[in-house]
Structure 1
Amino acid sequence: MKDHVLIREGLPTLGVLLIFTVILYLLYPALAVIGIGLILYVLFFFRDPKRTITIDDKLVLAPADGLVTNIEKVFEPQYLQEEAIRVSIFMSPFDVHVNRSPISGTVNYLEYRKGEFISATKSESHEVNEKNFIGITNGKRKVLVVQIAGIMARRIVNWTKMDQNLTQGEKIGMIKFSSGTQIYLPCSTEILVKKGEKIQAGKTIIGRFAND
């Protein structure tokens, strides 16, 4: 874990667990093991590993760690407003939950939408669950990253703002505990991952843009 840092969003949870562990210890010392176990898991969950990012405007990097659960063509009405390729990624409680920008560009679309918190493994979750939309353009191309809450995830964290310039692989947010992330790409994009493949944010190349 020497190459990992702790995401600041994990500090409040750690503080609560520390108090909880002290209370357990005062009630019955052996119970403190429960609190210590929870603290270790939170430290593990909110880890932020250092990653070397290779910047290439022709490539699309994974926006999240996890399992590719679906790749399909759909109509994207929010931002691209056209047929697009949607790559869906499931983030388990054991994956790194930091989201990263798949391309270098400018944030010119943001929308937060309240919703439900059903399991991210269910196909309907991307329709009904709480989500956050981040649209990024580099002048030539547009991609949309969607952060989706899950049955355990009760808070979506967005670190971007409108008109912010992003570098490919830059951190853009996270989702607390198991959740899902989707990326919508132009139909001309060559997809380089397959359903069932494990990927890493900022490291795995998931697509290659068509030549302009």
Structure 2
Amino acid sequence: MLIIDKLAYQSRWRHVAPHRKAWLYVVLLVLAFSCPPLAQMGLLAGMVLLTCYLLKVSLWRYLRWLMVPLFFLLFGLLGIVFSIAWAPAVPVPHSLTLGPLVIGPDPVGIATAWHTLWRSLAALAATYLFVLTTPFNQLIGLLKRCHLPKLLLEQILLTYRFIFILIEEAMAIHQAQTLRFGYSSPGNGYRSLAMLVGMLLARVMDRYAQMETTLDVKLFTGEFHL
């Protein structure tokens, strides 16, 4: 199972009706986008503590989950904070001059970045709370209640299934390469990784062909019963 599925199935809210969690998610998103930064900080802290309690995980583990999206968020905020001007009429404090170009922090951009930071973190925490407490079968049931096209639901199910096939095949190939000292040196590691990618595509296509054969044997009519 994926770590997301493990956490969702062991959460204290696993038996809560999915439509209630969905409505809570919508309310939290509205608050995250409409409240001032101070309220967003409090909302963020509350959702972090609630998620840790529901999932039975430590605060440090949760903060590690935030590291990857936080890196991209901070990198994107640099474009808001710093402005590039072509010989501005008003001097820009703490700026760097490169010929006629002036690069420096913009006071309006700093305020905008500050609001964007806490708004994004609060929305991200709300998304974590919903996704990590809603098992996949509940999510499919919720999407079905929203009257999404059946074809789209089938595509979601097949994509979800092939994630596990992809991980299973990659782990099997990697283990076989490791037993043959395929990653004993950086050079061998790069060659083994290239072979893994090539073999993975062939193995997944083979598993897909096997699945088609299995469905034909079971007289598959083109529709999955959801």
Smaller-chain TM-score bracket: under 0.3
Structure exhibiting the larger radius of gyration computed from Cα positions = 2
Higher strand content, 1 or 2: 1
TM-score (norm 2): 0.25
Higher helix content, 1 or 2: 2
